[in-house]
């Protein structure tokens, strides 16, 4: 499995608690923050839940 870079591009303010928790679980700490993670099925599922708040790039 490859690595992906996840960047938060929209604020999590005024979003449901599950979406805020997912952003935190991905390791993103603030707006425009990025993390590089392995593209596991679990991570891809988390990204799918908050796809309107993040962008994803293959590394």
Instruction: Report the pLDDT value the prediction gives residue 13, as an integer from 0 to 100.
Output: 95
Q: Tell me the per-residue pLDDT of 2-56, one tens digit each, with 9 for 90 and over.
A: 999 999 999 999 999 999 999 999 999 999 999 999 999 999 999 999 999 999 9
Q: Where do runs of H (alpha helix) occur along the chain?
A: 17-26, 41-49
Confidence (pTM): 0.91
Helix or strand holding residue 58 (H, E) = strand 54-58
By three-state DSSP, how is residue 9 classified? coil
- The domain 3-53 having CATH identifier 1.10.3720.10: the answer here is no
Q: What is the pLDDT of residue 1?
A: 76
**Domain range annotation of the chain:** 3-53
């Amino acid at each position: 499995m490859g690595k992906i870079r996840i960047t938060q591009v929209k604020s999590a303010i005024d979003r449901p608690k599950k979406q805020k928790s997912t952003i935190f679980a991905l390791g993103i700490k603030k707006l425009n923050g990025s993390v590089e993670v392995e593209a596991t099925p679990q991570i891809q599922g988390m990204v799918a839940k908050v796809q309107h708040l993040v962008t994803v790039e293959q590394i």
